[in-house]
A and B are shown apart, each in its own frame.
Chain A
């Protein structure tokens, strides 16, 4: 019956991508309806990359299921047809996590966007994966609770995507990253079975599969429902802007604050390049001549905040801060955070393209790594600006370039690699919150032994034995770096 409806509405050829078995698309149409399938080349271009624009590949077809059962049926179809499939949220990820390597079927979860339950007594919520991060906190207004993980893209990114990449954000310094706030997941395994792991309780007997599922970048299962922990709103905030005449002084102040045993709610650094772009975009009043500013926030009980603020101001001054400004009220605090979270948007004023890195170093190594970033940028003639989660040691150097110039792209890639190599040399990581995706597969052999990678591959095969779900992600293959594209693919100007 469904098939007849399709014939009445569309020419079937329109839905017949070349690389797929002929029965697959009609089957997908039966499951999600004509309004839930895209297969025209122009439509598919939107889905050929995420925020990592250097590698691109188009899926053969995109489907938009609206419920778990539809996801499971789509997955079973793909399994039976032997076609790769990959889940996608809002596509805001930055390492190619939802790049459809090898084409196949992309399962976009943005139409599963219901907040299913909010339980304020037990402080949890149940959401579908397509719920945009900020929607949950908006829905919690008036309850005294919020959802703590707050990636800068929280106005667009989905909680399902946050689960896949174990997203962080400025306030994760005190409150933890996504995995610290996920109690359970319902997911569809690569064979189409629907299973629940965890739920509205803090513990279940046995190994922590929920924790392992978070950050698995869509390579183990497709998450279709999430139980998240809600966090009490703090009674008060003190938000400060420390202004420094040198990057070294600013990074030394970060080390001093952390080393002093103070754990702010957030501790962010912005260097001059990004300050100029932000000021042009938002006219907040950032000091354009400052080499760096620190955005520092403490929160908690009002009774203790003034003392904590005073201690931080004192430490900043000891490290050479020119001044430490205080946000006067909630509105000013909100504006400051708006500037910080939209920093990436302001970069459009600086260059046509940019590439953000996501290294992590021990916090005491920040002064060293910032100096190295400057050196590397100078040597490769690439302008680099910095805005990052300083309190976690999670750097985000932003390399500015023009993707239409292949030679520039090569220099950006080389500079990025050198920065990440330096993070590893400091005892750090090549990714703190963006994930490995396809971008950093080449680094996995540098971070992990062959035995560790083998155990990771074995773990993946326990849930995803045929590697049909999200192939070419996170783990290098025996022969290559993992970027084994099948069919057409393209790179940005490379």
Chain B
């Protein structure tokens, strides 16, 4: 299955010690103490995305949430669950599975990745297309701000508009605004059946033809994945094909079977090559696909987002920079992961910052580097790609939540 986390370039030298509070109160006490002393705090969950961001530059302490690993309340018939943030995704889904329910998040190293870390990094996966984003499942949150103050937003019911929606605000906040200690999630029933289908377009225009057709057909896939490059072709896919499109269906038996048949007809009409036999890929295929960003050996792992219709035009530029780059796109949402085999010969500043990131921005998109193990040209610009966000607004929010700038200082978007 490959390594269990992104290859690490995270320089932990400035971190004197990593503390592991046993509960949320103790965690808040640590942060309050650090606030008083203006000591930097580097929050950590399962450390599966610890490399994302700039190196820790200021001396401080690591603060692990893995001691906060309790299930607080699971009223299965209300289809919600309240857990502490250090609960691992695999453990969470094991608890839910006993009631034939799940949280449909697809993140690598689910045995390690914590619920809080997944929310803080907003690591959406393949089933975002049919099941919604991480933010859509989060209905309540408790967190500790940069002063050590515990606060909460949302609640334990599925519909609630009281107060500001901190559930949304903390999604993707990368531990810079607050440390999440507890969450309430909306869960869903396990589907009766899952089925994947795989096809091989010969070209990106042909791929786009199918992707656009899927958007206009009544079928309702849970995931639409576009793969490119030899390394992206998880068995049993043919590694010699340049591209593959994978479509996942979930639902009742009859719905999945009908959808697979309908897709087969659609693909036939478009004259796209299908995976020979079996048409439906093996049962554990999904899990292997999810591990794509965490497999070792890539010089650069990057993640981007574009309007879905812009993907086919953008990818040739990626392969212009690195012909061996492997691609996994959650194509229905325009999200994509790139694994570059080597650092581009023209350097990141020219190939990434001035070219790929600029291209993504031109289409209202973004491209960030998740992992850069050799630490080549690590800058705020190369890592986060500039972007169109009003940074002064983000900074203003940051100052209110973390006035002494002790939470992950210097690692992320803020100066």
Given contacts A172-B159, A362-B75, A362-B156, whether A201 and B364 have CB atoms under 8 Å apart is yes
Q: Are A208 and B122 in contact (CB under 8 A)?
A: yes
Q: What are 19 A-to-B residue pairs whose CB atoms are below 8 Å?
A: A189-B393, A202-B133, A202-B334, A203-B305, A207-B174, A235-B218, A255-B77, A261-B189, A301-B219, A304-B255, A308-B252, A394-B159, A429-B161, A429-B162, A436-B162, A453-B163, A454-B149, A455-B145, A458-B401
Interface string of B148-167 (1 = CB under 8 A from A): 01111101111111111111
Q: Is A451 an interface residue (CB 8 A)?
A: yes
Contacts of B353-396 to chain A: CB distance below 8 A: 364-366, 368, 384-385, 387-390, 393-394, 396
> How many residues on chain B are close to A (CB under 8 Å)?
84
Q: Count of A-B contacts with CB under 8 A? A: 272
Q: Contact partner of A214 among B165, B166, B174, B401, CB < 8 A?
A: B165
Q: Size band of the A side of the interface?
A: 35 or more
Q: Are B390 and A197 in contact (CB under 8 A)?
A: yes
Q: Are B258 and A303 in contact (CB under 8 A)?
A: yes
Q: Are A304 and B254 in contact (CB under 8 A)?
A: yes
Per the bound structure, the CA–CA distance linking A462 and B149 in Å amounts to 17
Interface string of A203-215 (1 = CB under 8 A from B): 1111111111011
**8 new A-B contacts at CB < 8 Å, known A233-B218, A455-B151:** A123-B215, A203-B124, A203-B133, A204-B388, A209-B394, A364-B77, A451-B150, A462-B397
Q: Are A301 and B259 in contact (CB under 8 A)?
A: yes
Q: Are A427 and B401 in contact (CB under 8 A)?
A: no
Which residues of chain A come closer than 8 Å to B394, judged between CB atoms?
Answer: 206-207, 209
Q: Is B333 an interface residue (CB 8 A)?
A: yes
Given contacts A303-B258, A455-B149, whether A429 and B309 have CB atoms under 8 Å apart is no
Per the bound structure, the CA–CA distance linking A472 and B384 in Å amounts to 38
Q: Are A201 and B305 in contact (CB under 8 A)?
A: yes
Q: Contact partner of B165 among A195, A211, A392, A451, CB < 8 A?
A: A211
Per the bound structure, the CA–CA distance linking A208 and B366 in Å amounts to 14
Q: Is B171 an interface residue (CB 8 A)?
A: yes
Q: Is B100 an interface residue (CB 8 A)?
A: yes
Q: Is A218 an interface residue (CB 8 A)?
A: no
Q: Contact partner of B75 among A177, A262, A364, A462, CB < 8 A?
A: A364
Q: Is B264 an interface residue (CB 8 A)?
A: no
Q: Is A168 an interface residue (CB 8 A)?
A: yes
Q: Are B165 and A461 in contact (CB under 8 A)?
A: no
Q: What 8 A-B pairs are tightest by C-beta distance, nearest first?
A: A211-B168, A261-B189, A207-B173, A235-B218, A432-B159, A458-B400, A259-B77, A455-B151
Per the bound structure, the CA–CA distance linking A440 and B160 in Å amounts to 13
Which residues of chain A come closer than 8 Å to B174, judged between CB atoms?
Answer: 206-207
Q: Are B400 and A459 in contact (CB under 8 A)?
A: yes
Q: Are A205 and B165 in contact (CB under 8 A)?
A: no
Q: Are A122 and B172 in contact (CB under 8 A)?
A: no
Q: Contact partner of B163 among A255, A263, A432, A474, CB < 8 A?
A: A474
Per the bound structure, the CA–CA distance linking A165 and B160 in Å amounts to 11
Q: Are A207 and B177 in contact (CB under 8 A)?
A: yes
Q: Is B306 an interface residue (CB 8 A)?
A: yes
Which residues of chain A come closer than 8 Å to B385, judged between CB atoms?
Answer: 205
Q: Are B413 and A206 in contact (CB under 8 A)?
A: yes
Per the bound structure, the CA–CA distance linking A262 and B177 in Å amounts to 37
Per the bound structure, the CA–CA distance linking A195 and B390 in Å amounts to 7
Q: Is B93 an interface residue (CB 8 A)?
A: no
Q: Are A209 and B169 in contact (CB under 8 A)?
A: yes
Q: Is A6 an interface residue (CB 8 A)?
A: no
Interface string of A447-468 (1 = CB under 8 A from B): 1110111111011111100000
